[in-house]
Structure formats: structure tokens, C-alpha cells
Structure 1
Amino acid sequence: MEATKNMEYDLAYAKRAMLVVVLLFGKLGDMYGKKKMFLIALGFYTTGVILNGFAPSFQWLLVTRAVQGFGMAIFPLAFSLVREEFPPKMVPQVQGMISAMFGVGMVIALPLGAWVTQNWGWRWTYHSAAPFAVLMFFLAWKVLRESRYINPGKVDWVGTVLLAFAVVPMLVGVTRAPEVGWTARETLVLFSVTVVSALLFVLWEKGAENPLVPIGIISTRNPAIVNVGIMFAAFGISMMSQANTYIFQMMPPYGFGKTILQSGLLMTPMALVMLIVAPIAGKLLPKVGAKPVALTGALTASVGLGILAKYAPQLPPDHLWAFVGLITLVGTGINLMNISLINVLVFSVPPRAMGVATGANSLFRNFGSTWGPAIASTIMSTYYILFHPPGAPPGVQIKIPTTKAYEVLFGTSAVVFLLLALLILAIREVMKGGRIHGVENEGEKDVLA
């Protein structure tokens, strides 16, 4: 068990070490063309997926996973290209369609990936995905048009290095803290390196000729609120997902006793609802405004999580579909909020800085998704009982989270989304009544939808 945990940590480090690359690729997209950098990032992703399935050892798998990690940059670059290549009135709908595709991916990947792994092993998970990655690269190369906005300049390598020292130690420290302790020397050293590097990074960026992150842009009201909102949304959903995994797979009376494949299938209703809700939300945004939709989403998620905090401990093993319905409600709310916030972001920054703005947003999202499981693991390690599995040798016991752990997990997530609802109230509306108010390079002007 300990060896498995260490392998999971190492794979997580290989992926998280690439997070700074997401922001760098966004900046390079602004400088040299977003299609060009999209294809380079997608090329890394495709190569990594192919090599993963042939890794001869775990050490090589770390390397190939790191190569795949460069491909994470495709997401902010894709959002940037949508903002540039589509008329303003279509951007919310297209962003909604992209979010819907995440739902489609979940519907297919969760049960199918579990089924492939259980029957043919983890290598075939990558082998089966490789042809689709190659096809995606070919289609992107043939179909996408190059960005119209180019902002050439020198690469801020000093800022990149400082950001790496600010981000990577923090992510590693957060991931390791539940195991080694939040006050352990290793954790405190990593966090100290992060704080010092972050301060130096901000100071450097303020005086840099062509900064990696334009502090003046991402610190304005809407981008700052969106980044914080996305970070805490990822934090809340990650905490909920951690609890869901235990509740689905723990044996009764502690959970529903489902297999990995069954757990994946039970997650598909949430993904299917996202597939339906996302395009509808994208179509409604220009008419009703991004702020009301985001607010509705945050409050919906908060209410659903509040109900889970009160009743989830009593759900297993007799109320499976009630639990599935509640997490589907929460997923719908989060989806509404995410679609609204990404549209607020892309219409609140100038096109010439779109790549770095969406890259920074992805970085904040990953901050939240890293902190969520770490805090969830700490909570479940605080509230637990010891259980002796039937047939296990004498003295062998495992930790089972208590009902208090789930109450704290879901309750904390509910509070997070309630606070996000209050934060959303401070957003400056970018669309309403059929008009989109986009920020252009020379200032703000209304764009007729």
C-alpha cells in the first residue's frame, strides 16, 4: 500500500512540475501565435500518451507523463482561440460547447477507462487513447487558423524560473502534507521556498520589460475575481470528489460497496447533465448576463453540498440514487458557474494578453484541485475508526472515515461555494440584454452581439 501511494505521489509530481509550462505556453501563444503553440503543446501530449503505454519501468513512466504534462497548455490556448476566431455573440455558446465536451469525455472515459484497466491493464488505457490523440492533432493542424493578435518580445526566463520555484514546491508540499504532516520540517521548508519565490516573482514582474504575467491585467477586478473563484471552485469539487470515491467504494455500512467500474458508471449522470446544461447556458449568457448565471450556479452547488453534509452519512447503503442525484445537482451548479466565469475572463482582458490570462486561470484552477484532495485527506485522517477486514491477518486494520468526516467535507465545500456566490456579486458584468462589453487593446467598448 505504501509503495502504491509513493507511486501516485511521483506521478502527481511529474504532472504538477509542468504546470508552469501552461502559463509559459499561454505567453508564447500571445507572442508567436496561439495555433502554433497549441499544436506544439498537443504534440507533446500526443507523444506522451503514446510513450506512456510502452514505458518499460515506473521511472520511464514518470518521464513520459512529464512529457504528456506539457499538453495541459492546450486548454488555455483553446479558450483564447475561441475568443479570437468567433464573433462575440457566438463565444459564450462555443465556450459552453467546450464545457459540454468535458461532460462527453467523462461519460466515455470514466466507465470505459475503468473497464479497460480491469480487463487488459493500465497500458491499454494509454494504447486505446493514442489513436484519438493523433486524430486530434491532425484535425487541429488542418482546421485551426492562426491567431490574429501577435505581441512579439523577449521571453521572460527569469520570471519563469521564479514562478517555477513559487509553484512547484507549494504543490509538492500540499500533496505530501497529509502523509508527513502539515508542520513537518519538509512541509515548512517547501512552503517557505514558495513564499520567498512568490514575493521575488511579483517584484520582478512589476519591473520586467515583457513580463511573463502582466500583473496589472490579472489583478484588475474581473480577472482577479475569476481566478480566485475558479481556484476555490476546483478546491470544493476536489474535496467532494475525494469523499465520493470513498462513499461509492467502501463496503456497507460505510459506503455503497461498488467497484471502480460501477463507480465510474454512477458518475455518468452528472456528466450527461453537464452535456445538456452547458450549451443551454452558453446560449443564455448574452441575454441574462454572466453574473446571474454564475450566481445561480454557485448557490445551486452550495445548497446541494449542504444537503449532502446533512444527509450523506445516512445514505449508504439504501439510498444510492438519492446520492447520485445530489452530486449531479452539485455538478450542474459548478458547470454553470465555470462557464460563466471563463466568459467573464475572456471578455475582460485584451486579446493580445488572452493567452497568458487564460494560462494564469488554469494555474489557479490547478492550485485549487491540489489543495482540495490534500485537505480532504487530512480531514478523513482526523475523523476515522479502525476496521479489521474479514479474512485479514490479526492486527491488520484500515482507517474508515466516520460520518463526521463526510459532514465536515461536504459542509466545508458548501461554505466555499456560498462565499463564491458573494464574491461573484462583485463582478463587473460583461454581457447582458444581447450586448457584450469586451475589452479591446485600446480600451473598453461595447460589441454588438
Structure 2
Amino acid sequence: MASPAPISAPAPAPTGGSDGPRARLAVPVLAYCGTLMAVMQTVVVPLLPDLPRLTGASPGAVSWMVTAPLLSGAVLTPVLGRAGDMYGKRRVLLLSFALMALGSAVCALTSEVGLLIAARTLQGAAFSVVPLSISILRDELPPERRGSAIALMSSTVGVGASLGLPAAAMVVQYANWHVMFWVTAVLGASGVALIRWAVPESPVRRPGRFDLTGALGLSAGLICLLLAVSQGGQWGWGSALVLCLFLGAVVALGLWWRQQLRTPEPLVDLRLVSRPRVGLAHVAALLTGFAFYANSLVTAQLVQAPEASGYGLGLSIVQTGLCLLPGGICMLIFSPLSARISAARGPRVTLALGTVVIAAGYAVRIADSRALWMIVVGAAVVAIGTTLAYSALPALILCAVPAHQTASANGVNVLMRTIGQAASSAVVAAVLVHHTGLVGGAPVPTLHGYLLAFGTAGVVALLASAVALTIPGGSEPETARPADGGTRAVGDGVMEGA
């Protein structure tokens, strides 16, 4: 039996932040950093068709410039979240953003595909920016400002992705491709400086020993799982390599789960995760991530399809990015509405409503995916629903966990979204591959395949809504019971007995 966790002093109460001029800039600075993180994710997309020629590498090799940050981000987000709870959220936020800027600088200096992939792996650390920032906002802002700030922070993921694609496409079209990475390196360095200047360090900590064994076990399991999911279509779902990766993920994550339950200071508090208010929020995050990602993924391919297909518009990558831009603007506009709904009805209602709106957006796409204006409207409706849902998810976590565990809990929630996005990419690719026709002698997905992908994402969105409605209500944080059934402090002065 694991030894009882030591009784620690209650974590300091949230300070409500400073009223100084710099402290008032903390919210826009963090929103800027979240937007830039999302831009970093998308800037290589316009480059992918030309990267084999520019680097002398195979298409399969350059595709790792997209896969590598997803893998490292999935691994590092919960790890850096836990480190933020222990050592200081601002300190870890600075580290993750500095790694992103360094990765951009390396990409700007080289055309060697191995170094490019390694640099993009470094950039994956920036995935932790949003959960760390949300945790800082919880600790520093008064309750009346907290909801709108967290909603804005959550919307930066979609806003940055919508801005990054057309901006990067224009840079690639009119300048040397290295310029794009110089721009993101400079913006990243400015983000580091702004964080140091305007963002205060949170006083809420959970000191203890970092669970290195747990971090390694989770990393091994997630790498096996996400490699199998993201590369299964290319390597073959029935291939020995993919099957071994899935088996390795099951074994590694099973051993990790057992180790987490036995260690006194785990990387992820699984007893807290197993509570319905926390666990169901993570399930909803996975389903919402799946439903959201199909929007940009499928829309970009559909509008670029040749006109000879009978449905495609033959748009350039710049025009494609501009089609997605209204959705990003809608996310920015509707983020305050999410905070108001959550304040009036609770975040689970906001989440349920948001995922229903996502499904409605896909219904619009199924109704008409030939007219450009209908495509833009449908994509914007999905974006609005995503804003409502993504803004509600961190609010659910903040209501359900102690203050000293917000960064790690939000990190796990972001991880679940990432797994959902990876699964969405794999499912959409499988659907489109199995529904293709020849256009000019080249295989092109059929309109039926695109509509089936939209329908699948819509059904998953409705499942996410159903899960959201089953999340128990309440505003008091969940507390975790020690392995020995005793009593210990779990944060904010809350005690739980046997």
C-alpha cells in the first residue's frame, strides 16, 4: 500500500491580481501568445507541397514537420502543466514559449529536413501555453473578469489557426519560405519579453517531487498511440508496425496507470480524473476536438479540388485561407457570449450548446457544399460552436479541481483535444481515401466522401453534447482521496476525510 501523502499547507488563495498598468495587460499578452502558438501550428501547411523540392526530402519525411509538434505537444502539455503547478506557471510558460521561438529560429536557418523536424519538435512545447495561461488567469483575476478572459484565451486556438494559414500562404507566395520562420521567431521572442514584463507569477503552488517515472511512462504510451493513429493510413492499419504501436500503447499506458495510482505524488491525479465532473469533461474534450478538426481539414481540401470534379472550386492556398478567416473572426467576436452563457447557465450548458451548434454547421455543409458563400457560412457556424465549446471546457475544469492542480488538469484536457484531433485526421483521411474518383487521371475524393466526413463529425459533436449534459453540476472543486483512505489537504484549504 502506498504511503500516505504528506499534509501540506493550504495553497494561497488567488490574489485577484495587481491593479498596476502592466498587470492590466496580462490578458491581452496571454491572448497574443495563445494566438501565436496556433499560428505556429499552421504555418507549415502551405509549404507541404513544395517542401520535398525545397529540402530534397521525400513527402513522407516532410510530413513529420506537422506530426512532430503534435506528438511533442501531446507529451509535453500534461508534463509542463504539472511542472507549472509545482515550480510556477509563469516560469514554465516562459520556457515553453522560448522553446517555440528557438524552434522557429532553427527552421529559419536550415533546409535540412532532420533539423527542421527537430526544431518543429521543440515548438510542440508551446501547446502548453493555453492551459498554463488559463491557470494564471484563474489565480490572478477577480471572479467578475475571469470568465471572459478564459473564454478569450480559449478562442485564440481557432483565431490563430484562421490567421496563420492565409498569412503563411502569402509569405510563401511572395517571399522566401525561410522568411515565414524568421517572422514567427521574432514574434515568439516578443512574446517572451511581453510575458516577462506584463504577466505576474502565480502564488498558487503544489510543491513536491516531480514524477519523472510517470512522465516517461505517459510519454511512451502517448507516442505509441499517436504515431499509430496519425500514421496508420500511410503505413497500413493492419501492418505489423501499427499493430505493435497500438499494443505498445496499451501496455505502456496500463503500466503507467498502475504506477500513478501507487505513487504518493503522481504526474496526473487519476483519482481526481476518475470523478465524473473531471473525467466526463475530458471525454467531452476528446469528442469536441474530433468534431472541430474536421471543419478546417475537410474545407481546405474541398475548395481546392479541381473544378472538373463537379464540386471543387479550384482555389489557391491563399484563397482557401481567406475562406477560413471569417470563422476565426467569429470565434473572437463570440468568445464573450460564451462567458455570459456560462455565468448564467453554467459551463456544461455552454458546452452542450456549442457542440449542437457545431453539428448544425455540419448540417449546413451537407445541405450545400458547392456554393462558396454556403461553404463559408457553414465553416463559420462550426467555428462559433467551437468557440462556445472550447471556452466552456476550461471553465468546467476550473470548477472541478483545486486551484493548485489547474495547470496539470487543463493540460490533460488539452491532451484529450489533441488525441481527438489526431483521431479526426485519421478518420477523415480513411473516409476520403475510400471515396475517390478519377479526375484528369488523378484520384480525387468524391463529394459523397466529403459529405460523409461532415456527417461523421456532426454525429460526434452530438455525442459530445450528450456527454456534456451528463456532467454533474456544482461549483465546489472535486477532492482526491488518498490511497490509505486518510485525510489530507488538497488545495485552497479543503480537507477530505475517510
Instruction: Decide: shared fold, TM above 0.5.
Output: yes
Deviations 1:353-397 (A, max 9, x none): 112101111211110111111111111111111222xxxxxxxx3
Rounded Cα–Cα distance in structure 1 between residues aligned with 2:86 and 2:162 = 36
Rounded Cα–Cα distance in structure 1 between residues aligned with 2:75 and 2:232 = 21
Rounded Cα–Cα distance in structure 1 between residues aligned with 2:290 and 2:91 = 32
Rounded Cα–Cα distance in structure 1 between residues aligned with 2:111 and 2:434 = 38
Q: Which AA in structure 1 matches 2:446?
A: T
Q: Which AA in structure 1 matches 2:340?
A: K
Rounded Cα–Cα distance in structure 2 between residues aligned with 1:303 and 1:64 = 39
Note if contact 2:79-2:408 (Cα within 8 Å) is conserved in structure 1: yes
Note if contact 1:89-1:286 (Cα within 8 Å) is conserved in structure 2: no
Report what 1:425 is aligned to.
Answer: 469
| TM-score using structure 2 length | 0.82
**1:55 to partner: Cα distance:** 1.8
1:410 aligned to 454, 477, 484, which one? 454
2:69 aligned to 9, 12, 15, which one? 15
Q: Which AA in structure 2 matches 1:340?
A: A
> Any idea what SS the aligned residue of 1:154 has?
coil
Deviations 1:230-269 (A, max 9, x none): 1111112222322212211011123111000000011111
Rounded Cα–Cα distance in structure 1 between residues aligned with 2:223 and 2:311 = 36
1:27 aligns with 2:78: no
1:376 aligns with 2:428: yes
Rounded Cα–Cα distance in structure 2 between residues aligned with 1:308 and 1:234 = 18
1:265 aligned to 318, 322, 339, which one? 322
Over the residues paired in the alignment, what is the CA RMSD in angstroms?
A: 2.0
Note if contact 2:364-2:374 (Cα within 8 Å) is conserved in structure 1: no
Alpha-carbon spacing, 1:303–1:165, altered in 2? closer, same or farther (3 Å): same
Rounded Cα–Cα distance in structure 2 between residues aligned with 1:100 and 1:235 = 17
Report what 1:130 is aligned to.
Answer: 185
**1:322 to partner: Cα distance:** 1.1
**1:427 to partner: Cα distance:** 1.8
1:342 aligned to 366, 377, 394, which one? 394
Deviations 1:111-150 (A, max 9, x none): 2211001111321111122222111111101111112122
Alpha-carbon spacing, 1:372–1:107, altered in 2? closer, same or farther (3 Å): closer
1:214 aligns with 2:269: yes
Report what 1:447 is aligned to.
Answer: none
Note if contact 1:45-1:72 (Cα within 8 Å) is conserved in structure 2: no
Rounded Cα–Cα distance in structure 2 between residues aligned with 1:119 and 1:78 = 34
Report what 1:79 is aligned to.
Answer: 134
1:289 aligned to 324, 346, 358, which one? 346
What stretches of structure 1 of length at least 5 have no aligned partner?
Answer: 389-396, 431-435, 445-449
What stretches of structure 2 of length at least 5 have no aligned partner?
Answer: 1-48, 479-490
Q: Which AA in structure 2 matches 1:403?
A: L
Note if contact 2:152-2:391 (Cα within 8 Å) is conserved in structure 1: no
Counterpart mapping for 1:276-355 below 5 A: 276-309=333-366, 311-312=367-368, 315-316=369-370, 319-355=371-407
1:243 aligns with 2:298: yes
Note if contact 1:46-1:133 (Cα within 8 Å) is conserved in structure 2: yes
Rounded Cα–Cα distance in structure 1 between residues aligned with 2:142 and 2:312 = 49
1:62 aligns with 2:117: yes
Rounded Cα–Cα distance in structure 1 between residues aligned with 2:134 and 2:340 = 17
Report what 1:393 is aligned to.
Answer: none
Rounded Cα–Cα distance in structure 1 between residues aligned with 2:282 and 2:443 = 36
Note if contact 1:239-1:375 (Cα within 8 Å) is conserved in structure 2: no
Note if contact 1:281-1:336 (Cα within 8 Å) is conserved in structure 2: yes
Q: Which AA in structure 1 matches 2:464?
A: L
Note if contact 1:298-1:417 (Cα within 8 Å) is conserved in structure 2: yes
Q: Which AA in structure 2 matches 1:199?
A: G
> Any idea what SS the aligned residue of 1:90 has?
helix
**1:169 to partner: Cα distance:** 1.1
Q: Which AA in structure 1 matches 2:63?
A: Y
Rounded Cα–Cα distance in structure 1 between residues aligned with 2:402 and 2:476 = 12
Q: Which AA in structure 1 matches 2:351?
A: A
Alpha-carbon spacing, 1:219–1:122, altered in 2? closer, same or farther (3 Å): farther
2:220 aligned to 146, 165, 169, which one? 165
**1:306 to partner: Cα distance:** 2.6
Note if contact 1:248-1:257 (Cα within 8 Å) is conserved in structure 2: yes
2:492 aligned to 421, 441, 445, which one? 441
Q: Which AA in structure 2 matches 1:271?
A: G
Deviations 1:85-122 (A, max 9, x none): 11223211101222344454345323221100111132
Note if contact 1:170-1:190 (Cα within 8 Å) is conserved in structure 2: yes
1:356 aligns with 2:408: yes
**1:347 to partner: Cα distance:** 1.7
| TM-score using structure 1 length | 0.90
Q: Which AA in structure 1 matches 2:471?
A: I
Rounded Cα–Cα distance in structure 2 between residues aligned with 1:136 and 1:180 = 38
1:154 aligned to 181, 191, 209, which one? 209
Q: Percent identity?
A: 24
Q: Which AA in structure 2 matches 1:276?
A: I
Alpha-carbon spacing, 1:338–1:257, altered in 2? closer, same or farther (3 Å): same
Note if contact 1:240-1:409 (Cα within 8 Å) is conserved in structure 2: no
Alpha-carbon spacing, 1:412–1:203, altered in 2? closer, same or farther (3 Å): same
> Any idea what SS the aligned residue of 2:444 has?
strand
> Any idea what SS the aligned residue of 1:400 has?
strand
Note if contact 2:171-2:179 (Cα within 8 Å) is conserved in structure 1: yes
1:400 aligns with 2:444: yes
Rounded Cα–Cα distance in structure 2 between residues aligned with 1:24 and 1:341 = 19
Deviations 1:326-355 (A, max 9, x none): 111111112111111211111210011112
Note if contact 1:16-1:168 (Cα within 8 Å) is conserved in structure 2: no
**1:437 to partner: Cα distance:** 4.7
Q: Which AA in structure 2 matches 1:410?
A: F
Alpha-carbon spacing, 1:345–1:128, altered in 2? closer, same or farther (3 Å): same
1:387 aligned to 436, 439, 442, which one? 439
Q: Which AA in structure 1 matches 2:362?
A: L
**1:52 to partner: Cα distance:** 1.4
